[in-house]
Amino acid sequence: MISGNRSNLWKIISWVTASLLVLPIIVMLMSGLSATTELFSHLWDTVLPTYIINTLYLAIIVGLLSTLFGVVSAAIITQTNVYAKNILRWLLMLPLAMPAYLVAYLYTDLFDYAGPVQRYLRGFFGWESPSDYWFFDIRTIFGAGVVISLVLFPYVYMLARTAFELQDKNLHRASRLLGFNTFQTFYKVSLPLARPAIAIAVSLVLMETLADFATVQYFAVNTLTTAVYDTWLGYGDLSAANALASILMLMVFFVVLFEQKARMKQRHQSNRPTRGSQVILLSTFKQILASSFCWALVFLGFLLPFLLLILMAYEYASLDQLEALISTGVNSLELSFYTATLTTLIALILVLYKRLHQDKLRGVPVNLAGFGYAIPGTVLAMAMLATFGPLDNFINELALKVGIDEPGLILSGTIFAIVFAFIVRFSAIANGTLTSGVEQISQSIDLAPPSLGVGQFKSILKVHIPMLKSSLFIAWLLVFVEAMKELPAVLLLRPFNFDTLSTQIYQLISDERLEQGAIGAILIVAFGLIPIIWLNKNEDKV
């Protein structure tokens, strides 16, 4: 364990970083406190109850479906001899690269009454009006829940898969020896052992769902974020909007609490992933079932929307569009790279602080740092302006007094604000991934190096970080991909003449011309794919 001066330094760094990340949220909550009750009671009497019920309903659907999709596919990949396993293994990660708002836009368009699918069916069967046949209504909470789950389930899949793979296979053998069949072994041994990882992943998915605005909007579903936007942009009451956003925070607080309670008593001392363990041999029927399940997820979560984008690009794109996209693409890459690297580094510091220190409150910084994920990007952007705007003004006043040129808005008016907002928003992802990774490391390993007389920092560098390598890569990758897709914070905080791929696509979508943004959308997905594929290739090495 860590002690001494360096330990204190670590402690201070952890607390200061966490406080900085939570600062904009506090500024937001403070502003919420000054909200007037008049608008609230109006909302409460009219639309708010429905919004809250919709939000809960959506969270439940997404929670259940993403768990189902993620855990079952992870189990199939790790425990069976499903056909084309090595390809499916990484194909199942691809939906991550798809921005949810984009898939929502494409799917509502595709499956809508006036969309091509239903139009074709009507033409084929000679139906005339909606009363002639039944077709699922895509613009419902359920439709939104399915689509959100389809793009977010890879979180659950990735963390569950890693957890399954790191399990001590001797436990499985023991279970089999005790007379349990393969299904019972999975249910009684593998699943409970993977539960912490699954809980973390599902809580991440839920946070993203709660913060979502653009996606549900395409489904014409009104949730709490709708209320946040209505009060702010419609009624022009930012304080009330912040107060509503605090309700979202409260929900997240419960999600985090639930997640931690759920796995509090779990501690695994044994961690000896043994290679060459037995896989379940599937019968032909089960083989077909398992394959269809995985391929359906890959198809609906990635291939179909990607294909639609390619078709659009083929129809509408021109070469000069591509040229214009290069500089915006570089901006996107740069932002995502900074964000992913800094966020992962911060997460490593906070997670190891929690793991290796003795302080009673050692778990607080990592939890604090994770709250930003549930704040809608635009609301977070407002909080950034509220936090750094005054600071900028102070700096400028100071400069005037000292007699040097005013530096301008160096904090709130530059990419500093964007990267900061991204870190606040995506810390939960990196924290969760690393926490899940750390928990797979046996506690005895923490104790081994000191008992052998090896220094603490050396032991972290030589033992923990190598053991966490795979989690570190996954964390970096997830944040990178999310930063690539993130829209509202960039949109509002960017400096002049600064575009990213997502802002460019947004501009076209908001003019109802996604077709012309198809190439940009493909680039976002492609840039997201690069690290996923790279990770897959190097997985065995890391």
Partner 1 sequence: MFKRTITIATFIACFTASAAQEVNVYSYRQPFLVEPLFQKFTDKTGVKVNVVFAKKGMAERLKREGKHSPADVLLTTDISRLVELQDKDLLQPVNSSDIKQAIPAQYRSADNTWFALTTRVRNIYSAKRLGKIDFNYEDLAKPEWKGRVCTRSGKHPYNVALVASMIAQHGEVKTLAWLEGVKNNLARKPQGNDRGQVQAINQKLCDVALGNSYYFGNMLKDEKQKVWADSVYINFPNQSNRGAHVNISGIAMAKFSPNADNAKALIEFLVSAPAQQMYAETNMEYPVRQNVKASELVSSWGEFSADTLPLETIAKHRKTALMLLDKSLFDL
List residues near partner 1 by CB under 8 A.
Answer: 42-43, 46-47, 50, 108, 112-114, 119, 128-130, 139, 219-220, 222, 229-230, 233-236, 238, 338, 341-342, 378, 381-382, 385-386, 389, 392-393, 396, 405-410, 412-416, 419, 488, 491-498, 503, 507-508, 510-512
When the beta carbons of 123 and 179 are compared against partner 1, the nearer one is 123
We find the least distance from the C-beta atom of residue 300 to partner 1, in angstroms, to be 21
Q: Are 139 and 109 in contact (CB under 8 A)?
A: no
Give the C-alpha separation, 353 to 366, whole Å: 9
Name which of 271 and 507 has its Cβ closer to partner 1. Answer: 507
- Smallest distance, Å, CB 497 to partner 1? 5
- 393/444 with CB nearer partner 1: 393
Closer by beta carbon to partner 1, 97 or else 227: 227
Please classify residue 336 by burial: count the beta carbons closer than 10 Å to its beta carbon, then call 0-12 exposed, 13-18 middle and 19+ buried.
buried
Please report how close the Cβ of residue 306 comes to partner 1 at its closest, in angstroms. Answer: 21
CB of 114 to partner 1, least distance (A): 4
Q: Which is nearer to partner 1, 237 or 259 (CB)?
A: 237
| Cα separation, 471 vs 407, whole angstroms | 40
Nearest residue to 161 via CA among 84, 78, 259, 68: 78
Least distance (Å) from partner 1 to the CB of residue 47?
A: 5
- Rounded to a whole number of angstroms, the distance between the first and last alpha carbons of the chain is 25
Written as one letter, the residue type at 30 is M
| CB closer to partner 1 out of 66 and 225 | 225
Nearer to partner 1, 239 or 433 (CB): 239
Smallest distance from partner 1 to CB 105, Å: 10
CB of 410 to partner 1, least distance (A): 4
- Using CA atoms, how far apart are residues 182 and 160, in angstroms rounded to an integer? 18
- In angstroms, the CA 531 to CA 533 distance is 5
The CB-of-365 to partner 1 minimum distance in angstroms stands at: 19
Cα separation, 436 vs 434, in Å, equals: 5
Nearer to partner 1, 277 or 414 (CB): 414
Paired tokens of 25: 């949220």
- Planar angle of CA 480, 485, 487, nearest 5 degrees: 125
* 496, two tokens: 């002049």
**3 state DSSP class of 111:** helix
CB of 461 to partner 1, least distance (A): 19
User: And the tokens for 410?
Assistant: 């160096």
**Angle separating helix axes 48-79 and 238-262, nearest 10 degrees:** 40
Cα 395 to Cα 397: distance, rounded to the nearest angstrom: 6
Measured from the CB atom, is 119 or 261 closer to partner 1? 119
Quickly count helices (H) and strands (E) in the chain: 25, 0
d(CA 74, CA 41): 46
Instruction: Identify which of 469, 470, 468, 504 has the alpha carbon closest to the alpha carbon of residue 484.
Output: 504
Q: Any bridge partners for residue 168, and if so which?
A: 273
Q: Is 45 or 540 the residue whose CB approaches partner 1 more closely?
A: 45
**Cβ at position 380, least distance to partner 1 in Å:** 11
